[in-house]
Structure 1
Amino acid sequence: MKMNPWTLSVLLLLAGPLGADPDWYVEYPDSFCVVEGSTATIPCSFTHPAGRRVERVFWCTNQVFCQISTPNVYDSSIVRADSRFLYLGDLIRNCTLKIIKTEKRDTATYRFRFETNGGGFTGQKGVRVNVTDGEDVKVRSSVTDHVVKEGGQVTLTCTSACSFHQLDVHWYRNGHNLSETGPALHLSGLTNDDTGNYTCSLDSSGQNTSGPWSLLVGEYEGFRWSVHLVVAVVKGVVLAVLFLLHAGAVFAKWCTNKTKHI
Structure 2
Amino acid sequence: MNPWTLSVLLLLAGPLGADPGWHVEYPDSFCVVEGSTATIPCSFTHPAGLRVGRVVWCPNLQFCQRLAANVYDSKIVRADRKFRYLGDLVRNCTLKIIKTVKRDTARYRFHFETNGDGYTGPKGVIVNVTNGEDVKVRSSVTDNVVKEGGQVTLTCTSACSFHRLDVHWYRNGHALSETGPALHLSNLTNDDTGNYTCSLDSSGQKTSAPWSLVVVEDEGRFDWRLTVSVVVKVLLAVFLLLLAGLVYAKRSAPGPEHEIIYSEVVG
Distance 1:69 1:175, change over 3 A: closer
Write the deviation string for residues 22-53 of structure 1: whole angstroms up to 9, x where unpaired.
Answer: 31000001300000010100000001111111
Which of residues 132, 144, 147 is equivalent to 1:146?
A: 144
Query: How is 1:141-220 mapped onto 2 (pairs within 5 angstroms)?
Result: 141-220=139-218
In the alignment, what sits opposite 1:251? none
Larger radius of gyration: 2
- How far apart are the structure 2 equivalents of 1:151 and 1:103? 42
Q: Distance in 2 between matches of 1:15 and 1:214?
A: 53
Aligned counterpart, 1:44? 42
Shift of 1:220: 1.4
Spell out, residue by residue over 1:183-223, the C-alpha distance to the aligned partner (whole angstroms, 9 max, x if none): 0000000000000000000000011000000000001158x
* 1:56 and 1:76 in contact (8 A); partners too: yes
Quote the Cα distance in structure 1 between the aligned partners of 2:126 and 2:11. Answer: 25
Query: How do 1:1-262 residues align onto structure 2 when only pairs under 5 Å count?
Result: 13=10, 17=14, 22-67=20-65, 69=67, 71-220=69-218
Q: Specify the SS of the correspondent of 2:215.
A: strand
Amino acid at match of 2:62: V
User: Retained in 2: the 8 A contact 1:40–1:168?
Assistant: yes
Kept in 1, the 8 Å contact 2:57–2:73? The answer is: yes
Q: In the TM superposition, what is the alpha-carbon distance from 1:81 to its structure 2 partner?
A: 1.4
Q: 1:175 to 1:16 in 2, by over 3 A?
A: closer
Letter of the 1:204 partner, please give it: S
Structure 2 gap ranges (5+) = 221-267
Q: Which runs of 5+ in 1 are unaligned?
A: 223-262
Task: State the 1:13 CA deviation.
Answer: 4.5
Check 1:129–1:5 CA distance in 2 against 1; reply closer, same or farther (3 A cut). closer
Q: Deviations over 1:222-262 (max 9, x none)?
A: 8xxxxxxxxxxxxxxxxxxxxxxxxxxxxxxxxxxxxxxxx
Indicate how the Cα distance of structure 1 residues 75 and 15 shifts in structure 2: closer, same or farther if over 3 A, else same.
Answer: closer
Amino acid at match of 1:97: L
Q: Distance in 1 between matches of 2:160 and 2:2?
A: 51
TM-score (norm: length of structure 1): 0.77
**Kept after mapping to 1: 8 A contact 2:11/2:118:** no
Counterpart code for 1:74: Y
Q: Hey, what's the Cα distance between the residues in 1 that align with 2:31 and 2:133?
A: 13
Kept in 1, the 8 Å contact 2:61–2:109? The answer is yes
- Relative to 1, partners in 2 of residues 1:13 and 1:104: Cα closer, same or farther, differing over 3 Å? closer
TM (norm. structure 2) is: 0.76
Q: Distance in 1 between matches of 2:172 and 2:154?
A: 15
Deviations 1:61-97 (A, max 9, x none): 0001222546110000011113200000000100000
> Distance in 2 between the 1:91 and 1:203 partners?
29
Computed over aligned residues only, the root mean square deviation of the Cα atoms, in angstroms, reads: 2.5
| Partners of 2:11 and 2:120 within 8 A in 1 | no
Aligned residues: 218
Worse-matched range after superposition: 42-51 or 18-27: 18-27
> Which deviates further from its counterpart, 191-200 or 78-87?
78-87
Does the 8 A contact of 2:32 with 2:127 survive in 1? yes
Secondary structure at the counterpart of residue 32 of structure 1: strand
Report the secondary structure of 2:88's partner residue: coil
Query: Is the contact made by 2:11 and 2:119 (CA closer than 8 Å) also made in structure 1?
Result: no
CA distance, structure 1, for counterparts of residue 13 and residue 130 of structure 2: 38
Identity %: 80
